[in-house]
Structure formats: structure tokens, C-alpha cells
Chain A
């Protein structure tokens, strides 16, 4: 019972964030259609509810009520397992992200974070590296040539970009010296100039590009490009299984925006934080404003994902692999070298100069 009470805040945060993640993913689909519409000078969904606001719910209900088709040639168990893995992995990452600072309620102070692992960043990597199975297994189990090709392309792409992503994080770690999300965010306290994208502009750019590739988003959405591969790895899927694949993509977008905001854009820090504290504003309110600021940053990044998707044409597969292996990895290594050099100069007494 005591143990349960200890984890009560964590459980509440997990459940609330689960709901918020779902809603964010649902409304990202709406946002995507609206953004696409405005970029192409049309209205987008506007029939269901005011301004089309109920459109995502209608889409969700439609997904639920569609016919479930499992091809005879497919491997039935693996066919169901594929989207399940994709969705579960997408939902697993949020648990280590710092959604806010300390919050006091009923005399108890806790962090607005389910758990603060001292290797939180590595945990995100572990989940990302496992989530590739959803696509691989789903595509292979369909027993369809389009799906197989889409799956192989997607998995090669994801594993290739994982490397540069890791290298860009290493440079950030050299600056921060910790893998805990909370500590990284707290270090960025004190104004925009302390945010990590100032110290690591190149690292941030690499991370951003890799995040696009990891989420299979345009211009890296070769795995599902309809002009070449019909639907890619989800050609054979219907009903909620297709829904899970699409949903996982939007959740991944949300989560990677959250990771980027936390690592490079100060997380729940916002300009004027200390000023408000000096004015005597309650710490709870500052925490809530910080959380709202964090979500604003996330929404900006999600918008950026969509903006890029409807602006930039898709890469060719050889261009994609060349970018991953021959450009990003050398640039990431260069970034590592620059970071090391700057750190050695700034902390020269640690290195005996």
C-alpha cells in the first residue's frame, strides 16, 4: 500500500499524459489536413462540427467500424503483431519526458514527470530501436511485395538515421554531462541564451533531420510513397490495424517534438521565469505556465513537421541513404570534434593545459 502511494503521482501523470498523447495525435491529423489546406489555398475539413473540429472523432469512429481484412497468404499472428508493436512502442516513450517542474498538491511536492531515469535519453533510444520491428514484421507478414519492399526500405532508413541521431546526442552529452531529461532541462534555466540549441546548433540540425527520418515523415516517407509502393508496409492493412500504424506515426511526431523541445529548447523553461518568481507568483503557477510553454514548443515543432511535409518534395532512395551515411555521419563526427575542442578550451584546467 505504501508502495502504491509512492507511485500515485506517477500513475496519475501516466494516465493523464496517455490521454493527452492520444488527443494530441488525434488532433495532429486534423492539424495536418488544415495546414495542408492552407498551404494549398483551400479550406480543409470544415463539415463535422465548427470548423471541422469533430473531424478526428469521425475518423476515429470510422477506423473502428471498418471491415477487418486479413489476407489469406499472410501470417495471421504476425500480421496483427506488427501494428501492435508500432503503437505500443510509440506510447512507451512519454514516460521519461519532463512535462513540468515541481508541483505541490495536498502538501506533497512531486515532479510533473512519471519517472526521471538517470539514463532517460538512452531509454528513448532503446524504444526507438525496438519500434522498427512494428514496421518490419507488419510488412513481412502481409506477404505482399509492396509491403515487403516498404518494410525493408523503412527499416534500413530508420536504422541508418539512428546512428547520426546518436552521434548528435553524444555531442550534447559532452556539454550537459548527464543523460537525465530533468537535469538537462534544469541546466537550461535562465533565458533563451542558455538553451542548448545555442551551444549545439549543428547538433540540433542533425537531430531534427534524423527525427524526420525516424518518424517516416516527408521528405523521408519513402516507405509509404504511394507513387512507387502503393501504401508501403501498410498496403494490406485495414480497420484499426491501419489506424494504429497511422496513429503511431502521429504519436511519434508528438514525442519527437517533445524530445527536441526538452533537449534543445529548454523544455519547461520560459523567458521571464525568474522575473515571475521574484514578483512572488506561486511556484505552482510558474510550473503550469512552464508546462504550457513546453506544449507551445511542441505544437510549434509539430507544425514545422507539417509545414515541411507540404513544402519539400520526397527524396529518392539513393539520395536518402547517401544523406544518412555520407553526409550526416561525417557532419555529426565533425560536430563532435568541434564540441570537444570548445570544451577543452573552456575547461582547460581539466585537461592539464
Chain B
């Protein structure tokens, strides 16, 4: 090894470090998964998945018969002549569901860092979270009582 060279040892999460006296020190990484390198397999997986999907799409484009008729390429509406197209507004209910989902989703996200520290944070954390959940519950009860989520 050369001076200053750092080698990452796979498997046991340690690095070998060569210092100025040519002695080699073994350092264990502070906690198991703190490096961004953990995300590289995800990128590899993405390229594999996207490559497979793209490749298959490309190949199937050239396979199979191609007999295009005007009626075949029209929107399917169970054999009835279609009126207009599908670019039309739909019920506001779905939209409201999405808004409420965004709000609750953010609240759930806030619970993640709390839940992993549940024991460490002790009584103070418990009181904080109790307040938070109480407010969440208040909002939730209001939403239910207001009938915003009633589907008929």
C-alpha cells in the first residue's frame, strides 16, 4: 500500500488506512450503513429493470401482426359509439382524498424518526408525540365528522 491510500474492505465494514509510517490501521466504520455506497446497488437494479423494460418494449414493437383499422384504434366503449373523449373532469371527492393523503402522509413521515428513537427519547418525547397525535386525531375526527370522506 502507498502512503495515504485507503482501501474499503467489503463484508465487514472496515477500511484499511496506510499512514505516514507505512503502518496499516484498520478502522471500522462508525455504524453499519452510513455510506452512500449502499445506494449503488439500487442504481444497478434500476438500470437492469429499466433496461429490461425498455428492451422488451422495443422488441415487442416489431413483433406481432400489424393490421391497423380505423375502428380498431378507436377508444373501446363496449361497442357503443363513443361520445366525446375521456378528458373530462371527475368528482372532487377523489381530489379531496388526495389532499388529505398528502397531509396525513407527512404526519406519518414525522413518526418515523420518532419511532426509531422511542426508547431513547423517554418521557419528553412521549409528551411531544402525544400532543402531535392528539392534534392529528383532532383533525382526523373533524374530517370524518364533516362528511368529507362519505362515499355514496
Please say whether the chains A and B touch (CB closer than 8 A): yes
A340 touches B126 (CB 8 A): yes
| A69 x B118 contact (CB < 8 A) | no
Assess the B34–A159 pair: CB atoms within 8 A.
Answer: no
CB-CB contacts below 8 Å: A67-103 with B: 67-73, 80, 84, 87-88, 91-92, 94-96
Task: Confirm or deny: B20 has a beta carbon within 8 angstroms of a beta carbon on chain A.
Answer: no
Contact check, B33 vs A117: say whether CB atoms are below 8 A apart: yes
Cα A83 to Cα B149 in complex, Å, equals 30
B85 contacts which chain A residues (CB < 8 A)? 73, 143
Q: Which residues of B contact A163 (CB under 8 A)?
A: 101, 104-105, 108
**Cβ–Cβ < 8 Å partners of A147 in chain B:** 86
Is A300 an interface residue, CB under 8 A from the partner? no
Instruction: Tell me the complex Cα distance, A180–B109, Å.
Output: 16
The interface residues of chain B, by DSSP majority, are classed as helix
Taking A173-B116, A174-B115, A351-B122 as contacts, is the C-beta distance between A159 and B73 under 8 angstroms? Answer: no
Is B135 located at the chain interface by the 8 A CB criterion? no
Does A115 lie within 8 Å of B42, measured CB to CB? yes
Known contacts: A9-B10, A11-B44. The answer to whether A325 contacts B86 by CB under 8 A is no
Residues of A within 8 A of B63 (CB): 64-65
Note all chain A residues with C-beta closer than 8 A to B49: 18, 87-88, 91-92
* Contact A148 B90, beta carbon cutoff 8 Å: yes
Task: Give complex CA distance A14, B41 in Å.
Answer: 8
A347 to B125, CA, bound (A): 14
Which residue of chain B has its CB nearest to the CB of A141? B86
A239's nearest neighbour on chain B, judged by CB, is B60
- Report the bound CA distance from A96 to B40 in whole Å: 12
CB of A55 within 8 A of chain B? no
- Tell me, rounded to whole Å, the shortest Cβ–Cβ distance linking B43 to chain A: 10
Smallest CB separation, A288 vs chain B (Å): 18
> Smallest Cβ distance from B13 to chain A, in angstroms?
10
Minimal beta-carbon separation of A199 from chain B (angstroms): 14
Q: Is B11's CB under 8 angstroms from A108's CB? A: yes
Nearest B residue to A11 via CB reads B44
**In the assembly, what is the distance between CA of A156 and CA of B91, in Å?**
12
CB-CB contacts below 8 Å: A170-224 with B: 170-171, 173-174, 177-180
Q: Which residue of A lies closest to B102 (CB)?
A: A159
Q: Count of chain A residues with Cβ under 8 Å from any Cβ of B?
A: 90
Q: B104 — nearest CB in chain A belongs to which residue?
A: A163
Contact in complex: A333, B137 (CB < 8 Å): yes
Q: Closest CB of chain B to A102's CB: distance in Å?
A: 9
Within 8 A of A (CB), among B116-152: 116-120, 122-123, 126, 133, 137, 140, 144, 149, 151-152
B64: contacting residue among A66, A94, A351, CB under 8 A: A66
Q: Which residues of B contact A241 (CB under 8 A)?
A: 57, 60
**Chain A contacts for B72, CB-based, 8 A:** 69
**Closest Cβ–Cβ distance, residue A142 to chain B (whole Å):** 7
A261 CB-CB contact with B under 8 Å: no
Q: Are B64 and A67 touching (Cβ within 8 A)?
A: yes
- Taking Cβ atoms with an 8 Å cutoff, the residues of B that contact A are 7-8, 10-12, 31-34, 37-42, 44-46, 48-50, 52-54, 56-57, 59-61, 63-67, 70, 72-78, 82, 85-87, 90, 94, 97-98, 101, 104-105, 108-109, 111-112, 115-120, 122-123, 126, 133, 137, 140, 144, 149, 151-152
Known: A118-B33, A321-B97. 17 other contacts (CB 8 A): A2-B7, A6-B37, A64-B64, A72-B70, A84-B53, A92-B46, A110-B10, A110-B11, A115-B40, A143-B85, A146-B77, A156-B94, A162-B101, A170-B108, A170-B111, A241-B60, A244-B53
Q: 5 A-B residue contacts at CB 8 Å?
A: A64-B63, A88-B53, A118-B31, A140-B86, A163-B108
Binding site for B on A (CB under 8 A): 2, 5-7, 9-11, 14-15, 18, 63-73, 80, 84, 87-88, 91-92, 94-96, 108-110, 114-118, 122-123, 129, 140, 142-149, 152, 156, 159-160, 162-163, 166-167, 170-171, 173-174, 177-180, 230, 235-236, 239-241, 244, 317-318, 321-322, 325-326, 329-330, 333, 336, 340, 343-344, 347, 350-352
Closest 3 CB pairs of A and B: A318-B151, A173-B115, A91-B49
